[in-house]
Structure 1
């Protein structure tokens, strides 16, 4: 058999093998993971996907940039164990947590109530949940805080004061000589309210109050 006839089958086989290898390589590159860093070229929609990712990153606030919280600012700035005139910071709903220096306070519970005040009588304590004694002023205090708002339901003038666990007066609420006020106290003090104003005023008045109890977060 002539030499060219003997070499032809091998040449054809080599051509077929080379073609098959090229097809395999092309197919492999075509189905390579589009997210692979070794993918050649730009996959369809890649530019749009990159633009969308950049837009989403720009819309997401940086964790370094903190939004100023007016409630946290007000509570952090108010003196502890103080009585303030006016409605105070907006606490509806009450924040789950607020900070004061390095201390973090977390909301434990909230309650509301209403009591009758009598003119000429001694200041009356704001009651605790379900009309029980206010849950503060006990031994071992110092880990909690209360934000208390109070208001005369008919606009009657009120005054407030704070007493410690022994009953000694620690703060007189001259600043709250109006129909509403608020207090920021620790759990070593007790809040009291009294009907104030001119002697010729009503013999009694209703006072409504809202109390938010916070506990210091464990470190």
Structure 2
């Protein structure tokens, strides 16, 4: 009988297995790194879009105050561009102002609205007072891309220190008016719809002192 010797130290094939294991680990690391980079790029892109939308809405609120002041200065109202659809494209700009009750002098007759009614208007382009840029406005039934809408609500209020006191004529005091004056207080809501369905709405208040209008400053 012959004895058969078995060697347990044979390492044939080990290098191939080790190489395959290393390649597997490197592949997993590569996939994880690529996925993480892709996610980070998406986060950065979304953050950029959201910030752009926010600053566009903020700029829109400032634009709204300029439209308000121009409205007060333009005694005859803005020049109508489209008599059928009732809007005025402010000359030399990309801004469109819609007619309010058939009148482009938007704030001479201030009207107040309940919070519920106002909330129902914001977000509805058909109820906006102005839009920008008008070159981005789409036809009915399509989504807007990178478009801002402005909504205004105004009320008239007596300033602090403003009052009217009337006394009996026989007292010889007649009547006198306080010096606070009267102001139109306008709520400006600026809503901007950006890319990837991002949207920002900013609300701010603007106070216009009645009597400070300057017709010579009307540009539209």
State the TM-score, normalizing by the size of structure 1. 0.28
Between Structure 1 and Structure 2, the one with more strand by share is 1
State the TM-score, normalizing by the size of structure 2. 0.28
Bigger Cα Rg: 1
